[in-house]
Amino acid sequence: MRRAGASAAAMAAASILLAGCAAPSVGSPEPTTPTTTPATGSAATTLTVFAAASLATVFDELAERFEAEHPGVDVVVNSGGSGALAEQIVQGAPADVFAAAAEAPMQRVMEAGLVAAPVVFATNSLELVVPAGNPAGVTSLEDLEREELRIALCDESVPCGAAGVRLFADAAVKPVPDTLESDVTAVLTKVALGEVDAGVVYRTDVRTAGDAVERVVVPEAASVVSRYPIAPMTDAAEPAIAAEFVQLVTGDAGRTVLEHAGFGAP
């Protein structure tokens, strides 16, 4: 399994800071007999998966499992903001599977005729997070209106930002962000490094960060749910293999890994 597409600086900072504090991986059963095996002597098959940044850890685990069950298949996970990934796909970037953090980016790809019949496989909600120790004393969403605080949010063009807009509207809060990031991983990294006093990320990101951040309870967040769709590309290089990866994610094995990471049921 290979990772591609993430910001080098953000990924380096995140890997250094968050290493060892992520939730433990769910044990996978012994590899089963592969359902798709390249012919003897043939070159390895590459399956390119475009996945929302909040799915990176889960899809890394599922990619490794898929490779174990499909000798000769190399899964490349390209993670980032769902809107940016959708635009890359529409502009011709080669992808075999697309998993988004909201339905709007998937709809963009559907309208281009590049996927058909996506399936919602998980849900997520937002959390207010602060650096370990909560040095700025943040206690609620209302604190995001304090101009003296350094606040990081996702840009409205990506799912975590769009969900944040709904959350702030429900809570009647007008935040004053100092930075708007292109994906949720960048927000989490800034909070974990103490570069900002607070940020809004997905609840699954809070679990991934472990002791590097602290969660501030936000009752309004329960009403803002993000739905995650997945679909194989209609022009996938190996349609059968792409379909099998989607089946892994949407099946019982995928559900177990997703639930362990904090994702809700579809």
Span 129-164, pLDDT tens digits: 999 999 999 999 999 999 999 999 999 999 999 999
Q: What is the pLDDT of residue 59?
A: 98
Asked whether 129 and 154 are in contact (CB, 8 A), the reply is no
Structure tokens at 131: 């650096």
Secondary structure of residue 133 in the 3-state scheme: coil
Residue 24 C-alpha from the chain's centroid: 17
Q: Which of 69, 63, 62, 29 is nearest to 47 (CA)?
A: 63
Terminal Cα distance for the chain, rounded: 26
Q: How many angstroms separate the most distant Cα atoms in the chain?
A: 64
Q: Are 2-123+229-260 and 124-225 the same fold in CATH?
A: yes
Q: What is the pLDDT of residues 183-223, one digit of tens each?
A: 999 999 999 999 999 999 999 999 889 899 999 999 999 88
For residue 213, give the 3-state DSSP assignment. strand
Residue 75, pLDDT score: 98
Which helix (H) or strand (E) element contains residue 255? helix 252-260
Q: How many residues does the chain have?
A: 266
Query: What one-character DSSP code corresponds to residue 149?
Result: S
Sign, Cα dihedral of 237, 238, 241, 247: positive
Q: Which helix (H) or strand (E) holds 104?
A: helix 103-111
**Structure tokens of 2?**
């290979």
* Superfamily (CATH) of domain 2-123+229-260: Periplasmic binding protein-like II (3.40.190.10)
DSSP string, the chain: -EEESS-HHHHHHHHHHHTT-SPPPPPPPPPPPPS--PPTTPPPEEEEEEEEGGGHHHHHHHHHHHHHHSTTEEEEEEEE-HHHHHHHHHTT---SEEE-SSHHHHHHHHHTTSB-S-EEEEEEEEEEEEETT-TT---SGGGGG-TTS-EEEE-TTSHHHHHHHHHHHHHT-----SEEESSHHHHHHHHHTTSSSEEEEEHHHHHHHGGGEEEE--GGGGG-EEEEEEEEBTT-SSHHHHHHHHHHHHSHHHHHHHHHTTPBP-
Answering whether pTM is above 0.85, one says: no
Decide the pairing of beta strands 119-131 and 225-232: antiparallel
How far apart CA 80 and CA 160 sit, in angstroms, is 12
Confidence (pLDDT) at 104: 95
For the chain, domain boundaries: 2-123+229-260, 124-225
What token pair was written down for 137? Answer: 């004393």
State phi, psi for 95 to the nearest 5 degrees: -145, 150
Fold of 124-225: D-Maltodextrin-Binding Protein; domain 2 (3.40.190)
The residue ranges of the chain whose pLDDT is under 70 are 1-43
pLDDT for the residue numbered 257: 97
